[in-house]
Structure 1
Amino acid sequence: MATVLITGFEPFAGETLNPSWQVASALQGWQLDEEVMVSAVKLPCVFKQSLLTLEQAVNQLQPAVVIMLGQATGCSQLRLEKIASNYIDATIADNSGQQPRNALTASHGPAAYFSNLPINAMIRALHFQHIPAQLSLSAGSYVCNHSFYGLMHLIKNQYASIKGGFIHLPCLPEQVLNKPDTPSMELASQIKALKICIEVSLQQHADQLLA
């Protein structure tokens, strides 16, 4: 049976919830069909440890697809990330108190990697189901981007057959009860969206870049 690895992060910056882990954990054990099952792994919101946990999960599960999830406060729709940048500039400390600035994820790695998920097809499928989603060309410079780059670096150097990428999610409604101007999306809608993304990622080839 093929495995799809979905990762989410623990809460950070004083939050008690992180939609990325709420969605990932809800998908644990979900089967698309008799040949594909989801495994969910929680990543610490810690620069070094997030990559160690991710690499351990990939080595153990040998997944066909890895979709990493993160929280994007202020975002009203799913953001499917295209570019993982080899750059760290943490405006806040991670959950271990570390706050690297103007640093690299991989000292000898390229400036950036592209996701090899079929992002355009995923967005079309989400829009067909009336789920708001958009292409994003920046995953930021915090732990989300750091771990996204780490995944693509691992795929490039060790697991060329794996499809991998990152999706930023809106906050959950309960996170913004006292923040009326901050957009959110219901958990059920986010779970539905990820099921669509999983199915498309297994059926479609990566987006083709035109010369």
Structure 2
Amino acid sequence: MPAQVEPSKKTVLVTGFGPFGVYKVNTSWEAVKELYKQGLGVDWELVIEEIPVEYCTVKSKVPKLWEKHNPHLVVHVGVSGMASELTLEQKAFNYGYEKSDVKGCLPDANCCVHGADECITAGIKMNIVCADINNSDSKVKAVVSHDAGRYLCDFSYFTSLHINKHRTAFIHVPPLDQPYTVQELAEGLKVAITAMLKQIEEKLQ
């Protein structure tokens, strides 16, 4: 009797950002690394990647990551000093990038993807994800946002939404220990990603 072949696992790609400004250690990358330690369960292949806070790197690297991993879901994670909960971003904008990156550079014409729509809304319903988080046993609470700011977070989000808006998400995390530990942030990310995958899977049925 021939041996049964296990179906290949579907990939979830999660990115965090490198240092910038006052964030010499970027909470987003620390939380993503901790998430990798915790894992997403046996059914999912978790791939993580640190992305420098550079427009040109995001513009070239993010599409290559999609091509390389063919992910079932991409979740970009960034830090926000204004956040006190997991902040689930519902959409991203194509124009208005007037703040220089860590190399002092700006994108051409302050634009993310030339010729693309001014705004893209994610196919994943963040209000449902938010409710799933807030109704879970996680210590971390969540809110929904409709403006990720015009910096690398929004820039990376739009880049991925332009590739596939139904399999892309962005989550802002608060700075470390304000109020959550890195372990708590990772647990919150895990709940959020599980909720997102549930939505994607339900649409495929």
**Fold shared per TM-score above 0.5:** yes
Structure 1 residue 131, shift from structure 2 partner: 2.4
Which residue matches 1:42?
A: 50
Change (3 A) 1:47 1:122: same
Residue 46 of structure 1 aligns to which amino acid in structure 2? E
Structure 1 counterpart of 2:101, one-letter code: D
Deviation sequence 1:126-180 (CA, Å, 0-9, x none)? 1113522111010101111111100011126xxxxx511111110003xxxxxxx
Identity of aligned residues (%): 24
Instruction: Output aligned runs, 1:29-178, within 5 Å.
Output: 31-91=39-99, 93-99=100-106, 103-129=110-136, 130-155=139-164, 163-173=167-177
Shift of 1:32: 2.8
| Cα distance per residue 1:36-81 (max 9 Å; x no partner) | 1211011110011112111111111111001110111121111100
Q: Which amino acid aligns with 2:119?
A: A
Does 2:176 match 1:199?
A: no
- Which runs of no fewer than 5 residues in structure 2 stay unpaired? 1-8
Secondary structure in 1 matching 2:110: coil
Instruction: Assess if the C-alpha contact under 8 Å between 2:56 and 2:107 holds in 1.
Output: no
State the alpha-carbon separation in 1 of the partners of residues 98 and 78 from structure 2: 15
Please report how far the alpha carbon of residue 205 of structure 1 lies from its aligned counterpart in structure 2 after TM superposition: 4.4
1:99-140 Cα offsets, whole Å, 9 max, x none, are 459722122000110112231221111111352211101010
Shift of 1:7: 0.5
1:107 and 1:101, CA in 2 relative to 1: closer, same or farther beyond 3 A?
Answer: closer
The TM-score with structure 1 as length reference comes to 0.83
**Which ranges of 4 or more aligned residues in structure 1 deviate by more than 6 Å?**
none
**TM-score, reference length from structure 2:** 0.85
CA distance in 1, matches of 2:39, 2:22: 34
User: 2: distance between equivalents of 1:204 and 1:100?
Assistant: 33
Letter in structure 2 aligned against 1:140: G
Amino acid at match of 1:104: C
Which range is displaced more, 73-82 or 93-102?
A: 93-102
- Equivalent pairs counted in the alignment come to 192
Contact 1:115–1:166, Cα closer than 8 Å, also in 2: no
Match of 1:25 in 2: 33
Contact 1:64 1:163 (8 Å CA) reproduced: yes
